[in-house]
Chains A and B, each alone.
Chain A
């Protein structure tokens, strides 16, 4: 049983479009983290969200932690080809990762 469900699993859009990916669970987490992984490399931490309702921005990326601390979203504005990669969410405490969203940004 996957404790963290990510959706969609695959997303392919054109450069310049906006997108949102989701990370959902029935469990409460003390924090959630988002990572990006490029082919042939390990995941790299993008952000940690700790407080329910928290919103963090990293340039064109906006991360939100749900009020109940069971879900999170990642919104990318004006996607660029460099955003292509596998996006993973991870829940603190239970050492569990979602299965990932494979994002492809087409020029």
Chain B
């Protein structure tokens, strides 16, 4: 069964900490994405990557960075966590081509206190 695996289901971090969210996919997909999901706002795209070492800003990149050193791994970094970054973070991968569907991980619920 194909999978997108996010390293943590739940995280609690302090304001100002540097936070790493890890995502690994085993489907050899070219494209990987990070979304955050908040009630009433739906899924909002933070960053995405079409290939190794490539990254593109999504709709809400401020306060975040990403790293894709290997095809299967896409990391989201919160440089200095703030309370307004408390959210559900979802990683997804997709084959190349806009009409293919996303495969999502189970999400990481991050709380910044």
**Per-position binary interface string of chain B over residues 89-113, scored 1 when its CB falls under 8 Å from any chain A CB and 0 otherwise:** 0101000001111111111000000
CA distance A50 to B98 in the complex (A): 11
Residue among B9, B42, B48, B106 having the largest count of chain A Cβ atoms under 10 Å: B42
Decide if the interface of chain A is mainly helix, strand, loop or mixed. Answer: loop
Q: Which residues of A contact B (CB under 8 A)?
A: 2, 30-31, 33, 35, 40-45, 48, 50, 88, 90, 92-93, 95-100
Question: What is the number of contacts between chain A and chain B, taking CB atoms within 8 Å?
Answer: 51
Q: Does B76 contact A (CB under 8 A)?
A: no
Is there contact, CB below 8 Å, between B98 and A42?
no
Interface size class of B (residues with CB under 8 A): 20 to 34
Is there contact, CB below 8 Å, between A41 and B42?
no
Known A40-B106, A41-B107, A43-B104: A97·B99 in contact at CB below 8 Å: no
Q: Does B4 contact A (CB under 8 A)?
A: yes
Q: Does B27 contact A (CB under 8 A)?
A: no
